[in-house]
């Protein structure tokens, strides 16, 4: 907060931890706001429309699917995100999860503590990596894959490669599309059933892109070798009886893709820059 106040002198800045707040509580808090800055908390049309002076929603996050864009657009409220702040952090986590899957690192960690026999893994070299979505993070994943001497298959809007081809040919599939009406539920049992039995799925994008019940079925029935998820159909923390905890060939992390010291610094800097640029444009 001290840094924000020093960067934005002459402005009144009020902070709250709204993660457990209802919309009604948030409506009362933002009613006089000219600018709302937030991370990944849902911002509904009701909250947006209650802030009659609102001009800017500054999202300290890459994705903006939790913002009601229709409500903002109807009132010409600008929405700015911290684009690119976590490209390196997320891309590196993808490879951390990929290696963890390939070498059974969590399982072997458990086995050595129980005096068990090691689980033999595979190498990334010469494997086929399917990248679904080729924005900045997808491109960075492809660059890192080259260093591991992997072959990449890319799927995006301009690609001639079909999702069916990518899923059937890849040894690893990693998801990097934004969450939209078109991408919600795009990875379902039909696609998962086309993967090699030896293949792995990684999702560090958005949870609802993947139908979790279909993934559970694919893992339980050994349609694929395993999966690693940093995102889920609901935002962590997850309940102790979350359905995917019943499967063993899954590595899960609590949405940590963005959570490095370097990325958090970059996120703050980008958010402040977006606010300052917006204020300057209004002079």
Q: Using the predicted structure, report yes or no on whether residue 74 has a pLDDT greater than 70.
A: yes
Beta partners for 38? 59
Angle 158-212-141 from CA coordinates, rounded to 5°:
40
Please state, in angstroms and rounded to a whole number, the distance separating the CA atoms of residues 240 and 243. Answer: 9
Summarize the confidence of residues 70-77 as an average pLDDT. 98
Encoding tokens for residue 251? 């590595």
H helices present in 125-252, as ranges:
136-147, 163-169, 189-192, 212-220
Taking the complete model, does pTM exceed 0.85, yes or no?
yes
- Rounded percentage of the chain residues whose pLDDT exceeds 70: 99
Confidence class for position 117, pLDDT limits 50, 70, 90? confident
Please state, in angstroms and rounded to a whole number, the distance separating the CA atoms of residues 268 and 48. Answer: 22
Encoding tokens for residue 245? 């905890």
pLDDT score of 1: 64
- Rounded percentage of the chain residues whose pLDDT exceeds 90: 89
Least confident of 114-118, 176-180, 238-242, 267-271: 114-118
Catalytic pick among 53, 206, 262, 282: 206
| Torsion region of 104: left, alpha or beta (phi above 0 gives left; psi -120 to 50 gives alpha) | left
Q: Is the dihedral angle over the CA atoms 20, 22, 28, 34 positive or is it negative?
A: positive
Within this chain, domains 2-83+261-281 and 87-252 share the same CATH topology: yes
pLDDT score of 48: 98
Report CA-CA distances (Å) from 161 to 125, 172, 193, 205, 207: 22, 16, 18, 20, 23
User: Where are the chain's structural domains?
Assistant: 2-83+261-281, 87-252
First to last CA, the chain: 24
Task: Reply yes or no on whether 24 is catalytic.
Answer: no
Q: Using the predicted structure, report yes or no on whether residue 71 has a pLDDT greater than 70.
A: yes
Catalytic pick among 235, 246, 261, 273: 235
Task: Find out whether 100 and 225 touch, Cβ atoms under 8 Å.
Answer: no
Task: Find out whether 43 and 68 touch, Cβ atoms under 8 Å.
Answer: yes
H helices present in 65-174, as ranges:
69-74, 87-102, 105-113, 136-147, 163-169
Q: Using the predicted structure, report yes or no on whether residue 79 has a pLDDT greater than 80.
A: yes
Encoding tokens for residue 103? 């070498």
Please state, in angstroms and rounded to a whole number, the distance separating the CA atoms of residues 85 and 79. Answer: 16
SS3 230: coil
Q: What is the largest CA-CA distance in the chain?
A: 68
Task: Reply yes or no on whether 206 is catalytic.
Answer: yes
Task: Reply yes or no on whether 143 is catalytic.
Answer: no
Summarize the confidence of residues 202-214 as an average pLDDT. 98
Please state, in angstroms and rounded to a whole number, the distance separating the CA atoms of residues 23 and 8. Answer: 27
Specify the CATH number of the domain 87-252.
Answer: 3.40.50.720
SS3 40: coil
pLDDT score of 283: 67
Beta partners for 226? 200
Catalytic pick among 255, 262, 273, 277: 255
Domain 2-83+261-281 CATH assignment equals 3.40.50.720: yes
pLDDT score of 62: 94
Q: Which of 172, 154, 171 is nearest to 163 (CA)?
A: 154
């Amino acid at each position: 907060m001290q840094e924000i106040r020093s960067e934005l002198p002459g402005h009144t800045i009020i902070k709250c931890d709204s993660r457990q707040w209802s919309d009604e509580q948030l409506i009362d808090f933002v009613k006089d706001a000219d600018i709302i800055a937030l991370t990944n908390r849902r911002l509904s049309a009701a909250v947006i429309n209650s802030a009659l002076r609102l001009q800017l929603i500054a999202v300290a996050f890459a994705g903006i699917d939790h913002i009601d864009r229709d409500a903002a657009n109807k009132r010409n409220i600008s929405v700015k995100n911290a684009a690119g702040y976590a490209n390196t952090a997320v891309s590196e986590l993808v490879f951390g999860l990929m290696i963890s899957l390939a070498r059974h690192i969590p399982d072997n960690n458990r086995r050595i503590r129980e005096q068990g026999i090691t689980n033999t893994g595979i190498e990334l070299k010469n494997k086929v990596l399917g990248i679904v979505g080729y924005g900045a993070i997808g491109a960075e994943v492809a660059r890192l894959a080259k260093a591991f001497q992997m072959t990449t298959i890319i799927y995006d809007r301009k690609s001639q490669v079909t999702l069916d081809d990518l899923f059937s040919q890849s040894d690893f599939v990693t998801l990097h599309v934004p969450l939209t009406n078109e991408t919600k539920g795009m990875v379902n049992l039909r696609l998962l059933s086309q993967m090699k039995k030896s293949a792995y799925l990684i999702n560090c994008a958005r949870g609802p892109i993947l139908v979790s019940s279909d993934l559970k079925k694919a893992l339980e029935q050994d349609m694929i070798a395993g999966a690693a998820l940093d995102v889920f159909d609901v935002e962590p923390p997850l309940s102790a009886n979350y359905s995917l905890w019943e499967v063993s060939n899954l590595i899960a992390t609590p949405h940590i893709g963005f959570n490095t010291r370097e990325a958090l610094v970059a996120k703050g800097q980008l958010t402040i820059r977006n606010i300052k640029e917006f204020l300057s444009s209004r002079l």
